[in-house]
Structure 1
Amino acid sequence: MTALQWNVALPPGYRRGDVLAFHGRDQQGVAEQVSADRLRKGIMHDGLCVAFEIAFGPQQASCTADIDGAPAPGMAAALHAAVRNMLGLRIDPQPFAQLVANDALMAPLVAANPGLRIVQSATPFEALTWAIIGQQINLAFAIALRRTFIEQAGRRHSSGLWCYPEAQQAAQLNPEELTSRKFSRAKAETVLRLAALVTDGSLVLALPAGGDVAGISQALLAVKGIGPWTVNYALLRGYGYADCSLHGDVAIRAALQKLLGEDSKPDMARTEQWLRRYAPQRTMACAHLWASLQN
C-alpha cells in the first residue's frame, strides 16, 4: 500500500456540513463514511483501489489517500483534483453573491445560505453515472441502485471500503447483472453504453485545454439514453461548471414556483428564460433554489 498525504486550505465560512451531507446520503456507508469532522470515500483510479480520508479542521482539511498498489506518474495530481471536487472547491460562491446583491428575489436566498457551495462527485464518470442512476422519484431507491452499481462494478479496498468504479470496471458488466438487481433495462444499458464508450476511447471525459464544455456536452448528447438534464447535472457535479441551466429539474421548478409565489410550477421554457438572467453563474442560482426548498 502507498499512502499520500497533503493539506487543503479551506476558505473562510466553509460549510463542511454540506460536504458531509452530500457524501453521506447512503446511510449504509458502502463507499462513503462520514462523521462530525471526517469523510472517508473509496474510488478506483487507474485500476487501483484508493481510500480517501479527509479530516476537517477550522482552516484546512488534512487528506490521506491509501492506494492498494504503486501509483502511476500523475496519479497524485489526479487524486488531489478529486479531493477538490469532493470538497466543493471548484466554484467560488462570491461572484454569484456579488451578482445578485441587489436582486430582490435571489439576494434573500443567498443571505439565508451564505457560503453555499456546489459539492461534486470525485470524478466526471461518477457524476454521469449518478445522473443516470439517480433519475428516480424516490431518492432512497436511487441510492439503493447506486449501491448496487458500486457492489457489482467496483472493488473493495484493503480497508474494506468499497470503491466507486471507473468506466473500465463498469464496462465488464452485462445488463442482466444490473436488471436482476432492480435496474430498468434502459437505465442499465445507458450506464454500460457510457462505460463502453469511455473504455474504448470513443468518448473522452477529460475537459480540453481552456475548459470549454461545449464539445463534451455534444458528445454526451450523442449517447443514446443521455439527455440535456443528465448533461447539465454532470457538468455541475462532475466538472464544477459555473453556468449550468437546470431548467429541466423538477425541484428547480418547484423552488421557482415557491420563490415567485405562484400556484403552479413554471414550465421548462419559462424556467430556462428566467435562469438566463444569472448567466454566467447559473449553477449557483440553481444551488440556492435547491437550498430554498429546505427552508
Structure 2
Amino acid sequence: MTASHAIALPPGYRVADVLAFHGRDPERVAEQVDADGLRKGILLGGVPTLLDIRFEAGAAHCSVTFDGPSTPALEVQAHEALLNVLGLRIDPAAFGAAVQDDPWLGPVAARQPGLRIVQSATIFEALTWAIIGQQINLTFAIALRRTLIQLAGRAHSSGLWCYPEALDVARLDISELTGRKFSNAKAETILRVARMVVDGSLVLERHAGVEDISGSASAEVSETLLAIKGIGPWTVNYVLLRGYGYPDCSLEGDVAVRAALHKLSGSAVRPTVSEAERMLARYAPHRTMAAAYLWASLADAPPTNESA
C-alpha cells in the first residue's frame, strides 16, 4: 500500500546536506540518493517500508510504500521517520540568533545559514549506529552497519534493504556478528540493547507531535542508557541528537568536536574532554546545533583577501 503527501520545507532548506548524510554508503544497500531525492528502506512495526522523498518547489514530496496493509499506527511511525530523515526536528534559527556575536561559531554560522541536524529514521537505528561507530573510522562503521542490515534486515519489494528493528537484531547469534568483523564488545552491546527492547526493559519512544524532548526527559533517557553495559556518555548524547532530536546535547567526548574547538579557539593544544565540556557550556541550550556547526567548521574555509 502506498500513501503520498507533501511536507513544506522552510526557506533556505539545505537539500544537499540531507542527501549527503543519507548517501554515505557507497553500496546503496538501504539508502539510494540521486540529484533530486532519496529512497530509504526501514522496517516499521515488522513491515518493510520504503520512504521515497523528492525535493521540488520548496517541499518534500513523500511517498511511503508498505509491503502490507497500512494502519494508523504505522502511518504515524512513517511520518515521524520522515521528519527525522528530513532533519526537521530542530529549528536552527534560534542558534543562529544566539551566536551572532560569538567569535568562534558566529562567523561559521553566518557563512553556513540554515544548517540542520539530520537524524536516523528511528531511535533504534540511531542507537545501533552509535554503538557501531564507537571508536572506529567512518568507512569501517558504514561497512559494519551494512553488515547488520544484511544480517537482520529484510528486502522491500522495491529491492532496497530495510534497516532492522530490535526484534530482528535480537534473533541474531553473536557469532553472526563477530564472524563479520564486529568486535565482541560491539556485538554484545548491540544484541543486549535489542533484546532489552524486545523484553520491554528498554523503551525507545518519542511521542508523536512533541517538538523537542525536555531536559528532564533527556536526563531520564541518559540515566537509562548509561546503566547498560557498553554504553557511555558519547553514545548517549549521539542517540539524543540523532534519535530523539534533543536540542542541547553536549558532545565534548567527540573527537571531531574537540578538534573544531581547538581550531576555532586558537588554543595551543586540543582541549581535553572536561575542557571541551566547559567550552561548550557557552552554547547551552543550543549545544546540539553547536556540534553541527563545529563539525561543519572543519571543512569550512573562511574567506581571504587573496585573489584566486
TM over 0.5, shorter chain:
yes
The amino acid that maps onto 1:231 is V
Give the equivalent residue in structure 1 for 2:187.
188
Question: How many Å apart are 1:105 and its aligned residue?
Answer: 1.8
Aligned to 1:199: 198
Residue 160 of structure 1 corresponds to which residue in structure 2?
159
Q: Establish whether residue 62 from structure 1 lines up as the match of residue 67 from structure 2.
A: no
Which of 251, 262, 268 is equivalent to 2:267? Answer: 262
Q: 1:275 aligns with which of 280, 283, 288?
A: 280
Retained in 2: the 8 A contact 1:243–1:280?
yes
2:98 maps to 99
- 2:233 aligns with 228
Task: Report the TM-score when normalising by structure 2.
Answer: 0.93
Q: Once structures 1 and 2 are overlaid, which stretch shifts more, 232-241 or 128-137?
A: 128-137
Cα shift readout 1:30-60 (whole Å, capped 9, x = no counterpart): 0000001110000001111001100001310
| Identity rate, percent | 60
Task: Give the letter aligned to residue 20 of structure 1.
Answer: L
Partner secondary structure for residue 289 of structure 1: helix
Deviation at 1:106, TM superposition (A): 1.5
Q: Residue type matched to 2:85 in 1?
A: M
Counterpart amino acid of 1:195?
Answer: A
1:253 to 258, 278, 290: 258
Give the aligned partner of residue 40 of structure 1.
Answer: 39
Per-residue deviation, residues 217-236 of structure 1 (Å, max 9, x unmatched): 11111111000100000100
Matches within 5 A, 1:93-132: 93-132=92-131
* Partner-residue secondary structure (3-state), 2:194: helix
User: What corresponds to 1:49 in structure 2?
Assistant: 48
How far apart in 1 are the matches of 2:24 and 2:72? Answer: 33
CA-to-aligned-CA distance 1:266-295 (integer Å, 9 cap, x gap):
001110011111111000011000000012
Q: Give the corresponding residue for 1:7.
A: 6
Q: Which amino acid aligns with 1:40?
A: R
1:237 aligns with 2:242: yes
Aligned residues: 294
> 1:7-42: per-residue Cα shift (whole Å, max 9, x none)?
100000000100000000001000000001110000
* Unaligned runs of at least 5 residues, structure 1: none
Match of 1:89 in 2: 88
1:263 Cα deviation after fit: 3.0
Deviation of residue 137 (structure 1)?
3.3
TM-score, L = length of structure 1: 0.97
Find the aligned partners of 2:201 and 2:261 in 1 and give their Cα distance. 38
Structure-1 separation of matches of 2:13 and 2:57 = 9
Deviations 1:42-101 (A, max 9, x none): 000111100110000131010011100012332111111100100000000000011111
| 3-state SS, counterpart of residue 82 of structure 1 | helix
Any idea what SS the aligned residue of 1:272 has?
Answer: helix
- Matched residues in 1 for 2:144 and 2:104: separation? 37
Contact 1:207/1:216 (8 A) holds in 2? no
Separation of aligned partners in 2, 1:160 and 1:207: 29
Deviations 1:192-221 (A, max 9, x none): 100000011111011468832221111111
Check whether the contact 1:207–1:213 (CA below 8 A) recurs between aligned residues. Answer: no
Looking at structure 1, the residues matched to 188 and 70 of structure 2 have their Cα atoms a distance apart, in angstroms, of 32
- Deviation of 1:138 after TM superposition, in Å, equals 2.2
